[in-house]
Structure 1
């Protein structure tokens, strides 16, 4: 049934645009929003996304009701819930305690610093989200390496790479996966089975390559030794912890992960799980919800809302249906070819535009494609996950975690330039993308399945 036409600003001005004009406007606003996101030095990305969303509604591409309906609340609930659980863990002193133990394990050796903090970041990023992980890991790494007399820049870049590769492994680890899970209806277990093995291998290979690069460039030489090093490692400053709060938060976090795994088959989506368990944590923890809400990354949540509305305009005018038709024609039912096209193109594009808006757009295309190919096209979802998440390591603007670490590094007096990031990250990103997508393709061709 055709939806009733609501008068718009353009109608009032006597312009009465046709279908072709509306399509052109939707594409133009999408491109302009992308450009503004890339120019974050001048316009904050959240403001850019909200400007695009406002323009979509003001020009009548979507009514406010349609715009509200285009927002994926499963994604927002998941991010909001996990942010709150992580904030409580942080208040309990959990992350400070882990960082202190990790520092002792390094024994002040640069190689150990690289591997231990990279692996720690990768593991945390798999079960939290990578943006939240780098928010607390990056300052810790800066403190540790500067106290050991090492140059922070390569270690910070290593943390970025590990956060993106580690976050690729699970539904909640990286925003593109959260989007894919919600749009495709995939659960935590689906990502563990189809993506995690390749992400884990990419993580180990990525750290090994970073180790090699840093050795060649002399970044693993130097550092303090002797009595000063022993004093650093035996820092007597007590860590402020709240054991009761830590136990409560860890129990709720464990239950949340369990429900992520078993909830999808019984109709509990990840967003509802995270929202429910984080609310329960508020109930049992002796903390002010108002204070915790002040630490929520509202800018990130509003950024998602704005993008969903801008992308919703494209969907409303039929762009994704046309792109899906073209993609269907190109691959001709050859899912293997589709894996290569989606995987590598996603990686390249994600390297030069933020992988979040790209994934929102591409997920809409694949959802249209699913109507034609059915469940047999599931490997394309996993190719999108591998490409978008790992491709985010190509450049400094490829993923949200990259920008967050860059901001922290600049604030700490160790800025990361675009060129410096590329010199370390791009070769590693190309290698890990080729490895993960290529291996996934090879396994698919041999077995007819992703694993």
Structure 2
């Protein structure tokens, strides 16, 4: 009797379990048995026609969920495409109603949508083959994740601008909070899910990271040679004691060097030398330092590697070193000339106070003090730097990432020079800067995943009314003014997906002119205040360390007007280019 009861309980349990399975799986049969074979394919697209990745797709047959042949979930790939293969009881199709539904956090769920099924033949076993293919449009929705990602992004900006903590810590804290919320609240409620760890890692642009690392190593080796101090001595000797000519030469040298290294590194090398020269001439070093850092930002704008925003833009938009040189060198040269003229007059009273009594003796002193200390290392360093720049120029033809060129040049230089790589990695590679970029990519990705970037892009498109001229002006001036008060690196990272969106929605923007508007606005706008660009922050910090304090208002008073002048020149340049269209992205 007891045995029969146990058997009955087991049978009832199996029947109950079968009922549960029947409620969730429609007529599915093992893949190795006979039945109708159904393939459902398509693409999930946003309102702009671009594919949406990682959308969870569910197929319904007569209103019931069906599993794939391999019992795997169906999800879209990077291009937004998906494919699901199913086995149904023979005779189910084509009469059955087949529907597709989809879900992704921060997007409006796709309600069950009917798809047309057509017979495509039979397989070797005689099973009938059916297929359905259709594209679907899904829209963004405002969720708690959107507001959280927006708040974190703004908070990181405020912390960086107010200098409440180191910018690397601010970015890392923002990235950590985004991931923490995603895997706590987001685990229980998908409306709080911001960014997956996999997407956070994928958001890191390693091309930018390795490009910066490679150039830091090359510059670190060259620093050991005394070459940069020698350039300062040559500048003074060329000016022959004329302080106005000297200031102009120092600005030009700084701009040119910044174009082929980067403006932060250039200022790190030029600041000590400039202070020494200013002390020798008995003038305030600030008058030379501010004009130099302004020139460094102008010169760095002309090339892919000269300014961090350009590195970001070049990597994101697949722009080559030659693209930047061809399209931006002319306007940057014009802006540099205007800047030199402006600062020569702006600091005229300070320059007139210079004590230039014995020019020959001063030149001899500088010659002895600032000389190349390692000729062999200088030759090797310059040769490898030239080789690296050559690779930058042709990397578009070779389809080679710029980071490969930088790392190749850096590693060859370390190999032949026998400089200790451990010393270079410990003392010359600015790890806080690299980690800042890594964390910032994650924070920006969180804003992009939740829809903030798209909303801003659509606002710019709507305000410009799809007019390319208005879009060029808006991107340029918004970038310039914002970059003056917000570090231009995080701002540029935020704007890149916005510009990419505008390039696909505004007629004529496919030439790439909006990328140049962003580059010019972000790089030159960063000249406006002492926190607008990393080179500015470095200059102010080292000047204060040497005993020469530069106030926020003092810096802004000296730089904001010339910043507006240079941006206005860029505005005219870009408007001319909008109509004659010489600025075209090389692909």
| Cα drift, residue 75 of structure 1 | 1.0
The answer for the alignment partner of 2:191 in structure 1 is none
Query: Which of 164, 187, 200 lines up with 2:320 in the alignment?
Result: 187
Aligned-partner Cα distance in 2 for 1:424–1:241: 36
Aligned Cα RMSD in Å?
Answer: 2.0
Q: Check if 1:256 corresponds to 2:378.
A: no
Which residue does the alignment assign to 2:62?
A: none
The corresponding residue for 2:148 is 25
Question: How far is 1:345 from its partner?
Answer: 1.1
What's the CA shift string for 1:241-279, capped at 9, x where partnerless? Answer: 211211111111111111111112321011221122211
Contact 1:394 1:429 in 2 (8 A): yes
| Offset of residue 240 of structure 1 | 5.1
Aligned twin of 1:220: 351
> What is the CA–CA distance in structure 2 between the aligned matches of 1:210 and 1:77, rounded to whole Å?
36
Q: Does 1:47 align with 2:198?
A: no
- Structure number with greater CO (CA < 8 Å, separation at least 6) is 1
Equivalent pair of 2:298/2:524 in contact (CA under 8 Å): yes
Q: Is the 8 A contact 1:387 1:437 kept in 2?
A: no
Which structure shows the higher strand fraction?
Answer: 2
Structure 1 residues 413-441: Cα deviation after superposition (integer angstroms, max 9, x where no partner) = 11111111111111111111111222221
Q: CA offset at residue 6 of structure 1?
A: 12
The answer for the alignment partner of 1:269 in structure 2 is: 401
Query: What is the aligned partner in structure 2 of residue 278 from structure 1?
Result: 410
Alignment of 1:13-412 (within 5 A): 20-40=143-163, 42-60=164-182, 61-215=194-348, 218-227=349-358, 229-235=359-365, 236-237=368-369, 239=371, 241-294=373-426, 295-373=428-506, 376-412=510-546
Using the size of structure 1 for normalisation, the TM-score is 0.92
2:351 match: secondary structure: coil
Q: Which has the higher helix share?
A: 1
Q: Distance in 2 between matches of 1:223 and 1:183?
A: 47
**3-state SS of 2:354 partner:** coil
Distance 2:448 2:224 in 1: 41
Sort the Cα spacing of 1:313 and 1:368 in 2 relative to 1 into closer, same or farther, 3 A: same
CA contact (8 A) 1:379 1:449 kept: no
Q: Is 1:449 aligned with 2:582?
A: yes
Please list the CA deviations of residues 185-233 of structure 1 after superposition, one character each: whole Å capped at 9, or x if unmatched: 1001111111121111111111111112112xx1121222324x44322
C-alpha spacing 1:25/1:156, structure 2 compared with 1 (3 Å): same
**Counterparts of 2:573 and 2:505, CA distance in 1:** 26
Aligned length: 436
Q: How far apart are residue 377 of structure 1 and its match? A: 4.8
Change (3 A) 1:21 1:238: closer
Q: In the TM superposition, what is the alpha-carbon distance from 1:330 to its structure 2 partner?
A: 3.0
User: Could you tell me how far 1:92 is from its partner in structure 2?
Assistant: 2.0
Aligned counterparts of 2:306 and 2:260: Cα–Cα separation in 1: 6
Distance across 2 between alignment mates of 1:339 and 1:286: 49
Whole-Å Cα distance in 2 between the matches of residues 122 and 173 of structure 1?
A: 9
Q: Distance in 2 between matches of 1:264 and 1:186?
A: 8
Partner of 1:415: 549
Larger radius of gyration: 2
> Which ranges of structure 1 fall in alignment gaps of 5 or more residues?
8-17
Aligned residue for 2:352, secondary structure, equals coil
CA distance in 2, matches of 1:290, 1:245: 18
- Could you say which residue in structure 2 is the equivalent of 1:2? 55
What CA distance in whole angstroms lies between the structure 2 residues aligned with 1:94 and 1:223?
26
In 2, the alpha carbon distance for the partners of 1:197 and 1:334 equals 26
C-alpha distance in 1 between matches for 2:572 and 2:369: 48
Inter-CA distance 305–237: structure 2 relative to 1 (3 Å threshold): same
